[in-house]
Structure 1
Amino acid sequence: MAYRRRQWPDRGEVQPPADPEAAARDICLRQLTLSPKTRAQLAEALARKAIPDEVAEQVLGRFTEVGLIDDEAFAQAWVRSRHNGKGLAPRALSAELRRKGVDEETVKEAVADLQPEDLDAAARALVARKLASTAGLDPAKRTRRLVGMLARKGYAPGLAYQVVRDALAESSSDDDFDSPPPDAPL
């Protein structure tokens, strides 16, 4: 049995819909049903579907007015979720929010909620999880990998080095207690 190749219509220019306002509302509601979105993300989705700018602005304004779009709430929820789930620090969280189109002032307010104790605890938990997988490595290489992992998650170098230094010191003291002294009877 022979299969025919499916012919796709020309994917060139997207034609504007007949009723751009209804289409804009549908697009925004569909996007918001999937997951929370920023105003900038919704504006981008509307632009991809050839919704005129004035119609997009009108619909986005109305959605913001009724509370369906709230960049501040989005940013705060994003920071809590990504910090608790992935252990991300303010620098990485700020970069993610900026990529999502959140304005700088809102980003600063959202990451300001993170307390230094929370960052320290999250960094220590990340290092503790990764420590066992670096057990056989040279101490310098082990330190580089652990500090690099924290750096990629947005932690400041000073905090990263301190947390890794503490974890490695604790790990080596635990190893001393776990292994019997060389002259102990077996």
Structure 2
Amino acid sequence: MPPTAAEAEGAAREACLRLLTSRPRSRHELAQRLRDKGIEPEVAERVLDRMEQVELVDDAAFARAWVHSRHTYSGRGRRALAMELRTKGVAAHHADAALAQVDDEAETERARELVRRRLRRLTVPSDERERAVVVHRLVGVLARRGYGQGLAFGVVRDELAAAGTDVEGLDPDA
């Protein structure tokens, strides 16, 4: 015997509340999880609409919290954050507003912190070729976290120079 409408909504509501206890989620994420659990789309829509009304689901707040957390604690750049929000189903206007929290200066400073942390564990070789390999690895670390190549190379070059390493002849395209 199929569940009644009230039972289906109760199950969907419980599933959402369980998911929201571990971390905030976007409406899209919750809708996907409900779909995976076999909840009818109309039932999921009603439950999610109600959760938005009582502010348990708020994509704008989710996006702000996600950007703050991932930038601060995981060192993600704006490009990576934008991609993550897109995969979470956050609307572009909410994502753009949240990404505005991370200005150029904050992004550059976070990239510097990441490079400094890596440099503390590295010995930068005096050989120019070996040093270029280290530079490319450091730039790669930043690139994988969503920082643009120009920013990444500039930060790596500046941090190496600040650490007393000869940066003459370093070419971002070498």
TM over 0.5: yes
State the aligned residue count. Answer: 160
Paired position in structure 1 for 2:25: 37
2 CA distance for matches of 1:16 and 1:149? Answer: 52
Structure 1 stretches of 4+ moved >3 Å? 15-18
Counterpart of 1:140 (choices 132, 135, 138) is 132
For the pair 1:165 / 2:153, whether they are aligned, the reply is no
Paired position in structure 1 for 2:171: none
Pairing of 1:60-139 with structure 2 (within 5 A): 60-137=48-125, 138-139=130-131
Structure 1 residue matching 2:55: 3-state secondary structure = coil
User: Larger Cα Rg: Structure 1 or Structure 2?
Assistant: 1
Partners of 1:38 and 1:102 within 8 A in 2: yes
1 CA distance for matches of 2:105 and 2:83? Answer: 22
1 CA distance for matches of 2:142 and 2:16? Answer: 36
Q: Unaligned stretches of 5+ in structure 1?
A: 1-14, 175-186
How big is the shift at 1:126?
0.4
Query: Aligned-residue CA RMSD in angstroms?
Result: 1.8
Query: How does the TM-score come out when normalised to structure 2?
Result: 0.86
Instruction: Identify if the C-alpha distance between structure 1 residues 33 and 16 changes in structure 2 by more than 3 Å, giving closer, same or farther.
Output: farther
Structure 2 residue matching 1:172: 3-state secondary structure = coil
How big is the shift at 1:133?
3.0
Q: Unaligned stretches of 5+ in structure 2?
A: 167-174
Partners of 2:124 and 2:165 within 8 A in 1: no
1 CA distance for matches of 2:11 and 2:81? Answer: 33
